[in-house]
């Protein structure tokens, strides 16, 4: 992905299989969010191809990605502040969610999704009035409303307490286990992510420098070098 | 207010107002007519621009186009068809323009729609002179004033009902989403391009139909007469003062402004417009939601007063 | 041959004016996301000021130019303080800033234009200045038009130089590229924003004064220039002053040629056509890398 003279994402290949929980980590400026923008159709890539369930969606607008089952959250929660929490979730259901039938139609309506996320009693609260932590959860709810096959999560843990992060991670596992979705998860809270996911890709300065099982990636020399001076990754993925 | 209630109320108001030609004086009828026109214009403007925050300044262009459709077809086609055609031509033009510029930022869109009035005016002037050999047109065989009144009433009611229906529908939800966070709405499956063009064309339809209907009030029209920036300005002002996110706001506001315009505009044309301009500035700076945004505050105050006035036992019972 | 020279010159001269107007708008929008739709009205005020200076004080408009710039600069500071500063402070996001400043500008347009109608009436006015023709290579040009062109280019170049080499200019460019970064380095937006806004209006006034040398003036003369300025900004790329200069000249040329082959009344249609074509082919401007 090229912006003028700057190459933000350079030759990153990522394959995500059904029901796979993949983590994407990397130091600041590695191009992770830009990568997500291309994955969700927000940005059209300067080069390369995007295949979603066999359909070539390269350069298509974002709503087609949503129609093919790609749903995402943003680094800072983008909810519709004037609408209630329930309306926010219902939005996804009304549009992308309509076109997709999903094996797990446990989610026939917004309230069920809110219940899954533990936000059931906030249903009528205007989204702008929720705490940031709850807004993050709501954003996941909005994405779930679109009945996706793949969920792209951009930094769920930012600004959350340790306990909240653990809850979020458990929720993400449930999304994969109970709903059968594939999940791609960008995160700075590397430790939690490494304990949760089954595969990790590491981006550094726009390139993918590692892709494999968490404990192997943690011992990868290139990865340690990339993180040197920031957080060194030790065995079992605990942050220094 | 629920959709059904709004529709019923509109229908009732329409029936009451339909008696106009037989109970009102000529002056009052003319005033009511202007008021209905602005009501229709403001509501249809708010339907698109109020929800999406894409400020369309093209109302004058659509209105003028509709008026010219009347000038061209009045002799050849029956009246209802003329009016309908005026709306359709405006809608088609809006769809074309929208396809070209609606993907731009709101600021670009606003300035370009503003230029549309000039553009259409010049184009029609050129076209008339080169191909029709005329500068203006005389309108003859115009319908009765009562017919014009009822037509405008019908269009205004249709505008209000359409606006209410849209707001209750998926289209309305999509529009609100676009206004709140367009990119987010897109990632949730809204085809923003198609939705914007459709809503823009729909709002243009009413402006065009109103222009077609009102054209017969002039006996002679030429481009400068019907492509009048004031109509666009007045529409925006009325909608903004009333509150562009509601339906009732623009309606009440249209009434107030029609009265003001009627009594002040001819006396002090320039000063009046200066005051209106200042009013818009003050409004946007200090009350962006229009007067309708004061309504919840007012209701809360009234509720508080009501609670205070209630006798002690009632208050205890309500708990 | 001389006919084509005259045609091209006429297009370039108009284009020079477009450039000056566009640069002002470019700076305002590029820096503050304020799309001042009443920009053209301040062009009109500059024209009336020049007219007044010439008819009452027999002052050459060229001599009066700096004063006109200064007068409109001060007016710009006032307008910013009264109308736009509050928007920047109270709007929840960038889209709201854009939408609200558009509406304020719309109201401002009616306010200023009708104030002019009230003060000066609707008649066209004009004055004669340097109306002799000059012969260059067989082609005839009005001396005043040549002077207008020279000054328009000079103004644009002066601004380019100022942006590139003065501290204030660098501050403006820094802010346009990275608002937060610039503030962290100590650049004060509460000073910079009004200054740039005033500068934008000053440029519009200069363009108007130049125009008054050649054309007749009226209160509604400014309207088309706002739209044209936007088209030029799109051609040249948002935030690029040199782009606005080149884009303005180019648009002027294209219009002159287009009008010759079709009709003067289709000028706006031509500009819109150019605009849409450029947007489709090169959305970031003709000169973007």
* Interface predicted TM-score (ipTM): 0.87
Query: Total structural domains in chain C?
Result: 1
The values of phi and psi at residue B205, to 5°, are -55, -50
Does residue C32 form part of some domain?
yes
| Residue with more model confidence, B156 or C146 | B156
Per-residue pLDDT, averaged over B27-40, amounts to 92
Q: Using 50, 70 and 90 to split pLDDT, how confident is the model at A2?
A: low
pLDDT in tens, C115-130: 999 999 888 888 877 7
| A129: chain C residues, CB-CB within 8 Å | none
Measured in angstroms, the CA of C170 and the nearest CA of chain A are apart by: 21
Of B119, B237, B284, the CB nearest to C268: B119
**Residue C281 domain-assigned (yes or no):** no
Query: By the 8 A CB rule, do A240 and A193 touch?
Result: no
Cβ separation of C107 and B277 shorter than 8 Å?
yes
For residue B266, give every residue at least 6 positions away whose Cβ sits within 8 Å of its Cβ, in sequence order, or none. none
Distance from CA of B186 to the nearest CA of A (A): 5
Q: What is the pLDDT, as a whole number, of residue B64?
A: 95
Residues of B in contact with C226 (CB under 8 A): 111, 114
Domain span at C204:
2-223
CA distance A5 to chain C (A): 8
Query: pLDDT-derived band of residue B193, with 50, 70 and 90 as boundaries?
Result: very high
Specify the pLDDT at position A103: 47
Note whether C98 contacts B: Cβ–Cβ < 8 A: yes
Contact across the interface for C269 and B123, Cβ inside 8 Å: yes
The reply to whether residue A91 touches residue B173, judged by beta carbons under 8 angstroms, is yes
Burial class of residue A53 (count of CB atoms within 10 Å of its CB; 0-12, 13-18, 19+): exposed
| Contacting residues of A for B187, CB less than 8 Å apart | 40-42, 62-63, 65-66, 71-72
DSSP per-residue letters across B161-188: HHHHHHHTSHHHHHHHHHHHHHHHHHHT
Low-confidence ranges of chain C (pLDDT < 70): 137-138, 179-183, 288-289
Please indicate if any CB of chain C lies within 8 Å of the CB of A229: no
Break chain B into its structural domains and give their ranges: 3-288, 292-319
Q: Is residue B245 within 8 angstroms of chain A, CB to CB? A: no
Whether the per-residue pLDDT at A106 is higher than 60: the answer is no
Tell me which chain B residues have a C-beta less than 8 angstroms from the C-beta of A96.
188-189
> Which chains have 3 or more CB–CB distances shorter than 8 Å to chain B?
A, C
pLDDT surpasses 90 at B70: yes
Neighbours of B316 (CB within 10 A): 9
Chain B CA closest to residue C107: B277
Q: Give B46's contacts in chain C (Cβ within 8 Å).
A: none
Question: What is residue A5's predicted lDDT score, i.e. its pLDDT?
Answer: 59
Phi first, then psi, for residue C107 (nearest 5°) are -65, -40
Quick check: B135 contacting C, CB < 8 Å? no
Q: What is the pLDDT of residues A39-82, one digit of tens each?
A: 888 888 878 888 887 788 888 888 888 888 888 898 888 889 88
* pLDDT of B154: 95
Number of neighbours of residue A88 by Cβ within 10 angstroms: 29
Task: Output the pLDDT for position B248.
Answer: 84
| Homologous superfamily in CATH for domain A11-80+148-237 | P-loop containing nucleotide triphosphate hydrolases (3.40.50.300)
Which pLDDT band holds residue A194 (cuts at 50, 70, 90)? confident
Please tell me the distance in Å from B123's CA to the nearest CA on chain C.
Answer: 6
The pLDDT value recorded for residue A130 is 87
Whole-number Å distance between alpha carbons of A155 and C216:
61
Model pLDDT, residue A236: 42
**Of residues B83 and B264, which shows the higher confidence score?**
B83
Mind telling me how many Å the CA of B189 is from chain A's nearest CA?
4
User: For position A101, what pLDDT does the model report?
Assistant: 63
The stretch A129-155 carries a mean pLDDT of 88
Domain B3-288, CATH class in plain words: mainly alpha
Tell me the whole-structure pTM to 2 decimals. 0.87
Collect all residues of chain B within an 8 Å Cβ-Cβ radius of residue C94. Answer: none
pLDDT at B311: 59
The pLDDT value recorded for residue A239 is 44
Name every chain C residue with its beta carbon within 8 A of the beta carbon of B96.
Answer: none
C-contacting residues of A 100-159, CB under 8 Å? Answer: none
pLDDT > 90 in chain A, percent: 0
Asked which of A8-17, A75-84, A123-132, B194-203 is least confident by mean pLDDT, the reply is A8-17
Q: How confident is the model at residue A107 (pLDDT cuts 50, 70, 90)?
A: low
The string of DSSP codes covering C191-232 is HHHHHHHHHHHHHHHHHHHHHHHHS-B-TTTTHHHHHHHHHH
Burial class (CB in 10 A: 0-12, 13-18, 19+), A102: middle
Q: What angle do CA B103, B105, B109 make, to 5 degrees?
A: 80
Higher-confidence residue: C18 or B304? C18
B228 vs B208, more confident: B208
Tell me the average pLDDT across B71-88. 92
CA nearest A2 in C: which residue? C289
In terms of CA atoms, which chain B residue is nearest residue A143? Answer: B188
What are the structure tokens assigned to B85, written together? 């055609």
Confidence of residue B318 (pLDDT cuts 50, 70, 90): very low
Report d(CA C144, CA C127) in Å as an integer: 12
Tell me: pLDDT of A234 over 70. no
pLDDT in the model for residue B219: 84
Domain boundaries, chain A: 11-80+148-237
Q: Give the closest of B177, B187, B192 to A80, CB-based.
A: B177
The pLDDT tens digits of the residues spanning B240-256 come to: 888 888 888 888 899 99
CA angle A166, A172, A178 (to 5 degrees): 125
Question: Could you tell me if B189 and B62 are in contact, meaning their C-beta atoms sit under 8 angstroms apart?
Answer: no
């Amino acid at each position: 992905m090229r912006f003028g003279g700057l190459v933000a994402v350079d030759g990153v290949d990522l394959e995500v299989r059904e029901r796979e929980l993949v983590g994407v980590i990397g130091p600041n400026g590695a191009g992770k969010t830009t990568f997500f923008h291309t994955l969700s159709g927000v940005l059209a890539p300067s080069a390369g191809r995007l295949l979603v369930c066999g359909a070539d969606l390269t350069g298509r607008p974002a709503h087609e990605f949503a129609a093919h089952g790609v749903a995402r959250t943003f680094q800072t929660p983008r909810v519709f502040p004037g609408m209630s929490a329930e309306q926010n979730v219902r939005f996804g259901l009304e549009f992308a969610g309509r076109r997709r039938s999903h094996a797990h139609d446990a989610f026939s309506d917004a309230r069920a999704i809110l219940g899954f996320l533990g936000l059931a009693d906030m249903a009528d609260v205007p989204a702008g009035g929720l705490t940031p932590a709850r807004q993050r959860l709501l954003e996941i709810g909005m994405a779930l409303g679109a009945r996706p096959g793949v969920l792209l999560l951009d930094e769920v843990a930012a600004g959350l307490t340790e306990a909240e992060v653990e809850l979020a991670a458990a929720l993400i596992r449930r999304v994969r286990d109970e709903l059968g979705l594939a999940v791609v998860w960008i995160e700075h809270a590397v430790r939690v992510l490494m304990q949760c996911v089954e595969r990790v890709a590491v981006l550094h300065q726009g390139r993918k420098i590692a892709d494999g099982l968490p404990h192997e990636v943690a011992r990868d020399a290139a990865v340690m070098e990339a993180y040197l001076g920031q957080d060194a990754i030790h065995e079992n993925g605990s942050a220094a | 207010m629920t959709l059904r209630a709004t529709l019923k109320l509109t229908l009732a108001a329409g029936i009451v107002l339909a008696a106009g030609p037989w109970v009102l004086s000529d002056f009052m009828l003319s005033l009511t007519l202007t008021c209905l026109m602005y009501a229709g214009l403001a509501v249809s403007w708010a339907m698109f621009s109020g929800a999406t925050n894409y400020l369309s300044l093209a109302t004058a262009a659509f209105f003028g186009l509709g008026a010219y459709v009347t000038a061209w077809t009045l002799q050849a086609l029956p009246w209802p068809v003329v009016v309908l055609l005026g709306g359709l031509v405006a809608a088609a033009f809006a769809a074309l323009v929208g396809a070209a510029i609606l993907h731009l930022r709101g600021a670009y869109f606003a300035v370009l729609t503003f230029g549309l009035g000039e553009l259409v005016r010049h184009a029609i002037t050129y076209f008339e002179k080169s191909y029709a050999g005329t500068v203006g047109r005389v309108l003859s065989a115009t319908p009765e004033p009562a017919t014009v009144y009822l037509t405008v009433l019908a269009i205004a009611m249709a505008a209000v009902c359409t606006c209410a229906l849209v707001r209750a529908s998926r289209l309305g939800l999509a529009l609100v989403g676009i206004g709140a966070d367009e990119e987010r709405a897109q990632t949730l499956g809204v085809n923003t391009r198609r939705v914007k063009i459709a809503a823009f064309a729909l709002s243009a339809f009413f402006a065009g139909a109103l222009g077609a209907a009102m054209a017969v009030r002039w006996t002679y029209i030429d481009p400068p007469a019907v492509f009048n920036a004031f109509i666009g300005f007045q529409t925006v002002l009325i909608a903004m003062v009333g509150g562009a996110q509601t339906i009732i706001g623009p309606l009440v506001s249209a009434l107030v402004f029609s009265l003001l315009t009627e009594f002040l505009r001819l006396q002090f044309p320039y000063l009046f417009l200066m005051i209106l301009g200042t009013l818009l500035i003050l409004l946007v700076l200090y009350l962006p939601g229009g007067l309708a945004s004061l309504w919840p505050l007012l209701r809360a105050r009234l509720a508080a007063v009501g609670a205070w006035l209630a006798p002690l036992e009632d208050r205890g019972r309500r708990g | 041959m001389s006919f084509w020279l005259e045609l091209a010159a006429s297009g370039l001269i108009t284009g020079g004016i477009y450039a000056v107007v566009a640069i002002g708008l470019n700076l305002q929008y590029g820096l503050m996301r304020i799309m001042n739709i009443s920009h053209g009205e301040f062009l009109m005020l500059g024209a009336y000021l020049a007219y007044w200076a010439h008819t009452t004080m027999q002052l050459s408009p060229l001599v009066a130019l700096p004063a006109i710039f200064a007068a409109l600069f001060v007016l710009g500071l006032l307008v910013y303080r009264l109308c736009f500063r509050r928007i920047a402070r109270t709007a929840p996001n960038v889209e709201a800033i854009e939408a609200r400043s558009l509406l304020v500008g719309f109201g401002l347009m009616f306010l200023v234009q009708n104030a002019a109608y009230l003060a000066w009436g609707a008649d066209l006015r004009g004055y004669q200045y340097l109306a002799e023709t000059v012969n260059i290579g067989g082609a005839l040009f009005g001396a005043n038009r040549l002077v207008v062109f020279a000054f328009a280019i000079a103004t644009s170049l002066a601004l380019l130089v100022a942006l590139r080499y003065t501290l204030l200019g660098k501050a403006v460019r820094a802010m346009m590229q990275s608002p937060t970064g610039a503030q962290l380095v100590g650049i004060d937006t509460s000073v910079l924003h009004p200054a740039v806004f005033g500068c934008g209006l000053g440029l519009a006034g200069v363009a108007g004064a130049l125009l008054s040398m050649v054309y007749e003036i009226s209160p509604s003369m400014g309207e088309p220039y706002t739209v044209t300025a936007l088209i030029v900004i799109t051609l040249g790329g948002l935030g690029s002053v040199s782009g606005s200069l080149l884009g303005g000249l180019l648009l002027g040329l294209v219009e002159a040629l287009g009008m010759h082959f079709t009709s003067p009344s289709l000028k706006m249609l031509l500009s819109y056509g150019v605009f849409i074509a450029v947007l489709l082919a090169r959305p970031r401007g003709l000169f973007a890398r």
